[in-house]
């Protein structure tokens, strides 16, 4: 359900090439933040570029856009998000990993890890792994990568997930 909320909020994204939504849920299973990727508030997104490539990097979206994770943490409607779970479509990049760790988010559940081999994701995994080790003795942070087996099935319906920890060990596999 919460992943569905993350996906639904992502439909509002202007950038149709990568619609990433995020949803933060607290320990009572209440949603404390829903947000999608977008330009910083107050910045007219009609005046900023949305392209993925250009001769000048300043003419692409990348220097400007706020990832869904950042927006979700910043726009939370509770005092803090410590111990919360974040549902996000894509595995978080290194910048978002920093925010997630600093915000005290306990679990990250994502559906896709399609940029696994990029520098950002590799750094992100290192950070999240370290945070896991560091917090292990107290709260045991668990970061799960949820991979969709059958990509044609809607991600949040009748989906068979394999849950893996960051060391790529399967921790849950449905029959
Ligand atoms: Zn990010």
pLDDT in tens, 145-161: 333 332 332 333 333 44
pLDDT band per the 50, 70, 90 thresholds, residue 7: low
Who wins on pLDDT, 158 or 34?
34
pLDDT at 81 over 80: yes
pLDDT at 139: 26
- Measured in whole angstroms, the distance separating CA 5 from the mean position of its chain's CA atoms is 13
175 Cα: distance to centroid of ligand 1 (angstroms): 33
Least confident span in 17-21, 143-147, 158-162: 143-147
94 Cα: distance to centroid of ligand 1 (angstroms): 6
95 Cα: distance to centroid of ligand 1 (angstroms): 5
pLDDT at 48 over 70: yes
Which one from 28, 69, 95, 120 is the annotated catalytic residue?
69
Is 69 considered catalytic here?
Answer: yes
The fraction of the chain above a pLDDT of 70, given in percent, is 63
75 Cα: distance to centroid of ligand 1 (angstroms): 15
pLDDT at 51: 86
The string of DSSP letters for the chain reads: -HHHHHHHHHTT-S-TT---EEEEE-TTS-EEEEEE-BSPTTS-TTTS---S--SSGGGSSTTTPBPHHHHHHHT-SSS--TT-EEEEEE---HHHHHHHHHHT--EEEEEE-TTTTSHHHHHHHHHHHHHHHHHHTTT--EEEEEEES-TTS-TTSS--EEEE-TT--EEE---
125 Cα: distance to centroid of ligand 1 (angstroms): 12
pLDDT band per the 50, 70, 90 thresholds, residue 170: low
């Amino acid at each position: 359900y919460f992943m569905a909320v993350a996906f639904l909020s992502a439909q509002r994204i202007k950038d149709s090439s990568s619609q990433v939504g995020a949803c933060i849920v607290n320990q009572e299973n209440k949603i404390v933040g829903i947000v999608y990727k977008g330009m910083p508030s107050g910045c007219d997104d009609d005046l900023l570029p949305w392209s993925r490539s250009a001769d000048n990097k300043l003419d692409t979206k990348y220097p400007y856009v706020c990832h869904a994770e950042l927006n979700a943490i910043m726009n939370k409607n509770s005092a803090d998000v410590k111990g919360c779970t974040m549902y996000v479509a894509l595995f978080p990049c290194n910048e978002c990993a920093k925010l997630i760790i600093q915000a005290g988010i306990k679990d990250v559940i994502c559906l896709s890890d399609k940029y696994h081999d990029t520098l950002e994701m590799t750094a992100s995994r290192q950070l999240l792994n370290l945070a896991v080790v560091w917090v292990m003795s107290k709260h045991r942070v668990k970061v799960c990568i949820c991979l969709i087996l059958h990509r044609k099935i809607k991600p949040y319906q009748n989906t068979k997930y394999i849950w893996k920890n960051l060391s790529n060990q399967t921790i849950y596999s449905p029959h």
